[in-house]
Structure 1
């Protein structure tokens, strides 16, 4: 093995869409791998959203707004622009480095970022910052967990959750994924969320490709995604403690080194 190219000639599934896949693919290429971009997840704004419209009208009355992903930031601001809202912004809490970066590109800085990028850590570290009856706005996707809102409500906060986008798997991804799995053309599968796992497994079940998965190395980001993979009976070979794409790739490389 060439030490500087630990992924040499290995095909790596990149489960993100065109706008999000570039840096992921470049990282794989840097280590000699072959990125295969098949978006397992895509997002589209909810078309009619009366609840969000009402929340935006009173945006300045919230003490906090929580963004759990860069998609949430981008979608929320697209609605903000469309509605022409210019009210004062509440304090901002985010989960994840990328979410903070996307926010800062818009000239806003988060007041709070947890030490680990999972809902449980976020809640444990964030609750001491809020008072009883603090008003909190949580824009989210249709498949997002309710853990944050439920926990904050239990701590006495008044939480408004608003679904602003829906998650789906692009139709064009289904056949491409099925064909590549059937032909054993994917060496490493990477998963960035529980939804990416569900969407891939929908295809696996539809085309009866369970056996083909046994030939793949599997890496993921975060304990919730790992739990989802294990619920399907899949082996997880790489699941780093730091929940980033870079560390997932490093963890995958470490696994490959052990298998040498």
Structure 2
């Protein structure tokens, strides 16, 4: 069945703050509905400051873990790239894999040629921790994550009795935007955030100009980061996907056109 065009997006400018290597799918989805994306990466993915030695150490003793839990596609990519360098990718065949949501699960399947064993209904770190069962004797979970990761997953698992080894697989940094791009961002109708790190990065990029467009978030964790930073969230995607984000932008813009009467 053909995708229904969301006319409210026609000729509306929407800022995409995802890292450059992750932005294309969302950009294409917006363009299909007539929007004009402004690609302004708020984060770039780089190796951790510790040089990756703790990640190497965990990968070399992967057989000690019963689970590996991934909270982002970047964590999957960085971990498996490091596993390739150490020649241990094959060891992932014997470990159960948890993924925080559909995008992360899709990256797991692309990298490992098998589906994730666990994807929670609530697609955030709290939901992932809650989806784990109680540990059996000897159970341990390996959590390779961003150096700036929030503590909810690790704390939640440990509170349930899990032994957790959490290491940095990558970190995010904030790219510099040109003055021309910052001007385009300031004039946009909406801005999309898909991670808490993108919120902080974007705010540091635009400085005193502030966010003027409708703020749309991929989920509750990112929305909470916006609120903590003083931003008003216009809409949160009902599902953590490109289509869900596009629908949320449309809902936010419709609300702006037709404010509720008092």
TM-score, with normalisation over the residues of structure 2? 0.88
The answer as to 2:102 corresponding to 1:97 is yes
Q: Which residue of 2 aligns with 1:217?
A: 214
Partner residue, 2:248: 251
User: Given the alignment of the two structures, is residue 56 of structure 1 paired with residue 56 of structure 2, yes or no?
Assistant: no
Higher RCO, Cα 8 Å, sep 6+: 2
Which consecutive residues of structure 2, in runs of 5 or more, have no partner in the other structure?
Answer: none
> Counterpart in 2 of 1:229?
226
3-state SS, counterpart of residue 79 of structure 1: helix
Post-superposition Cα deviations, 1:111-145, rounded to whole Å, max 9, x if no partner, equal 111012111111112134x3254111000111101
1:12-49 alpha-carbon deviations (Å, 9 max, x no partner) = 10112332111101111111100111111111123622
Find the counterpart in structure 1 of residue 192 from structure 2: 190
Residue 154 of structure 2 is aligned to residue 149 of structure 1 = yes
Preserved CA contact (<8 Å) 1:38 1:176: no
Q: Residue in 2 aligned with 1:239?
A: 236
RMSD: 2.0
Paired residues in the alignment total 250
Measure the CA separation in 2 of the matches of 1:56 and 1:234.
39
Q: Are 2:11 and 2:35, in contact at CA under 8 Å, matched by a contact in 1? A: yes
State yes or no: 1:20 paired with 2:22.
yes
**1:199-230: CA deviations, max 9, x gaps?**
1111333xx213xx34x111111112112212
Partner Cα distance (1:36, 1:102) in 2: 25
Give the Cα–Cα distance (whole angstroms) in 2 for the partners of residues 119 and 176 of structure 1.
Answer: 36
Once the two structures are TM-superposed, the CA of residue 239 in structure 1 deviates from its matched residue by 1.0
Structure 1 residue 231: deviation in Å?
2.2
1:179 aligned residue? 183
Residue 257 of structure 1 and its aligned partner are, at CA, apart by 2.7
SS at match of 1:139: strand
TM-score of the superposed pair, with normalisation by structure 1: 0.88
Q: How far apart, CA to CA, are the structure 1 residues paired with 2:229 and 2:151?
A: 22
In structure 1, stretches of 5+ residues that fail to align are none
Following superposition, the deviation at residue 176 of structure 1 comes to: 4.8
What is the rounded CA distance, in whole Å, between the counterparts of 2:114 and 2:127 in structure 1?
A: 23
1:127 counterpart SS class: coil
